[in-house]
Amino acid sequence: MSVTPAWAAVAGVAGAVGAGVYIAAVADRAVGATVAGERGRAGRALGGPFRAAALWLVQGRATTERPDARAWALAPALYLGLAAVAVSVVPLTRNVTAVDVDAGLVLFGAAQALAVIPVFPNGWSSNSMLPLIGAFRFIAEALSYEMPNLLALLSVSVPASSLALGDIVTSQHHLWNVVRIPLGLPLFLFAGAGLAFWGPVDLPDGADLGGGTQAETSGAHLLAWTTGRLAMLFAISAMGAAAFLGGWLGPVLPGAAWMIVKTVALLVVLVSSRHLVARVRPERYVVISWAVLIPLALVNVIVAAAVSL
């Protein structure tokens, strides 16, 4: 159990989240430009996130007639905070973890479960019908993706006999979990996209709700909200890289470099789903999640158990 100085841990997490958010934003723009058939200049994609953030800081922050101002203010704050907590449990290398606990997997699961809470007030607080529908839709979505997510994560702790992420990564030193527990990573990514409600599962902020929970937000609030979503995507990618792709394990490069490469790869996959897959219908998502994904996740756990005997 390593005890890192507090300032180093916080700085590390902040730096990681900042870098992750930037890479996700750039990847989003780049993939979007490619799908749209535009050959944009690379400089536009690289500088784009900063310019958009500057516009949000200049723009006034919108409000509505009778909102619940306190809950509305807390929504992006809590969401980004929980994304930071989720990132902090993931190890960079064997000896470098911001928050190194025995039950890192459970802490990640707790952060993910709590992340449902700030999304609802972002839609409800504005006292406007379209965001309200988005908020209630998200609750249905969240209740549906929790189980496949947790079960997929659980399956990687079976071969390691531990809930600590460091042990889970070291248990993959001869074979990565993505190979010996094949259903795990797809299930985790699909359910994890729901955690950041990104792309095809963007039910609370969808275009059919005029932007949904974002419809009444602008300015600094919108900046914080978007940063939170991208940070959550980064957290999912980091956890997926550690739990399924072997974390820091790899031949030539140093461990930290491998971890970064794997995280960025998963991040690009998650981010690009927005431009390639249409948004799902809420009812179908709930039915598929309960009737297909949970049985698959349960089968996956049994497979993981059989493999680790």
Partner 1 sequence: MVVSRGRPGGPLARLAAGAEVPVFVARGLGAGDTEARLLGTSAVRVVASPRQATVLVVAGHVPPGMAEPLARVHDQIPPPRVTVWRTGAGAGALDAIRAAWPQATVVGPGDDVAATVVHAYREVLLGRRPTEQPRLADVEPAEWRGVGPYGQGGSGMTGGVPYGRPMAGRADDLRDGLSLDVVRVRMGPFLPAFPTGLVLAVTFAGDVVHAVEVDDLLTPGDGGLGAPLPDDAADSRGDPAARPVRIDGLERARCRHHLRWLARLLRLYGLEALGRRVALMAAAPVPEDIAHLRNLHRRLERAWVLGRVTAGVGVVTGDAAAQWGGVTARAAGLAVDARSGSPAYQALGFAPVTHEAGDGRDRWRQRLAEATQALELAGRAGDATVDDDHIEPAGQPAPADLAGALGTALTGQEWGDALATVASIDPVVHPGAGADRPARAEAAA
Partner 2 sequence: MVALAAFGAAFTLLVATAALVLLGRWLAGPPGWAATAPERVPFAGGLPPDVHAWNRFHARYYVMALLFLTFDMEMVYMFPWAVVFRQEGAVAIGEIFVFISILALGILYAWRERSLGWS
Q: Which of residues 205-234 bind partner 2 (CB under 8 A)?
A: 210, 215-216, 219-221, 224
Shortest distance, position 47 Cβ to partner 1, whole Å: 7
Tell me if 229 contacts partner 1 by CB under 8 A.
no
Tell me if 296 contacts partner 2 by CB under 8 A.
no
Please pick, from the candidates 23, 82, 193, 235, the single residue that binds partner 2 as defined by CB under 8 A: 82
Tell me if 238 contacts partner 2 by CB under 8 A.
no
Single-letter amino acid code for the residue at 103: A
Tell me if 209 contacts partner 1 by CB under 8 A.
yes
* Binding window for partner 1 (CB under 8 A); candidates: 62-70, 99-107, 240-248, 260-268: 62-70
Name the one residue in this structure whose structure tokens are 């900046």.
223
Q: Which of residues 107-166 bind partner 2 (CB under 8 A)?
A: 107, 124, 126-130, 132, 136, 139-140, 143-144, 146-147, 150-151, 154, 157-159, 161-163
* Binding window for partner 1 (CB under 8 A); candidates: 156-164, 186-194, 206-214, 233-241: 206-214
Rounded CA-CA distance 96/87 in Å is: 13
Rounded CA-CA distance 179/161 in Å is: 18
Which of partner 1, partner 2, none interacts with 6 (beta carbon under 5 to 8 A by kind)? Answer: partner 2
Closest CA to 90 of 223, 306, 247: 247
Please pick, from the candidates 208, 253, 256, 299, the single residue that binds partner 1 as defined by CB under 8 A: 208
> Coil, helix or strand for 93?
strand
Q: In the 8-state DSSP scheme, what is residue 175?
A: S
Please pick, from the candidates 62, 253, 257, 276, the single residue that binds partner 2 as defined by CB under 8 A: 62
Q: Which of residues 266-295 bind partner 1 (CB under 8 A)?
A: 274-284
CB proximity list for 119: less than 8 A, separation 6 or greater: 75, 79, 135, 138, 142, 197, 204, 213
Please pick, from the candidates 37, 43, 60, 251, the single residue that binds partner 2 as defined by CB under 8 A: 60
Question: Please, are residues 282 and 115 in contact by the beta-carbon 8 Å criterion?
Answer: no
Please pick, from the candidates 215, 235, 245, 264, the single residue that binds partner 1 as defined by CB under 8 A: 215
For residue 264, what are its two tokens? Answer: 């960025």
Which of partner 1, partner 2, none interacts with 214 (beta carbon under 5 to 8 A by kind)? Answer: partner 1
β-partners of residue 93 are 96
Question: Please, are residues 248 and 166 in contact by the beta-carbon 8 Å criterion?
Answer: no
Question: Please, are residues 226 and 274 in contact by the beta-carbon 8 Å criterion?
Answer: no
Helix 116-124 to helix 69-88 angle (10° resolution) is: 160
Please pick, from the candidates 52, 73, 96, 269, the single residue that binds partner 2 as defined by CB under 8 A: 73
Number of helices and strands in the chain (H, E): 13, 0
Tell me if 35 contacts partner 1 by CB under 8 A.
yes
Tell me if 194 contacts partner 1 by CB under 8 A.
no
Q: Which is nearer to partner 1, 119 or 151 (CB)?
A: 119
Report the greatest alpha carbon distance in the chain: 61
Q: Cβ atoms within 10 A of the Cβ of 303, count? A: 17
Single-letter amino acid code for the residue at 91: P
Binding residue count for partner 1, defined by CB under 8 A: 56
> Coil, helix or strand for 96?
strand
Which of partner 1, partner 2, none interacts with 196 (beta carbon under 5 to 8 A by kind)? Answer: none
State the residues that interact with partner 1 by CB under 8 A.
31-38, 40, 44, 47-48, 50-52, 54-55, 57-62, 65-66, 129, 133, 136-137, 199-200, 202, 206-211, 214-219, 222, 274-284
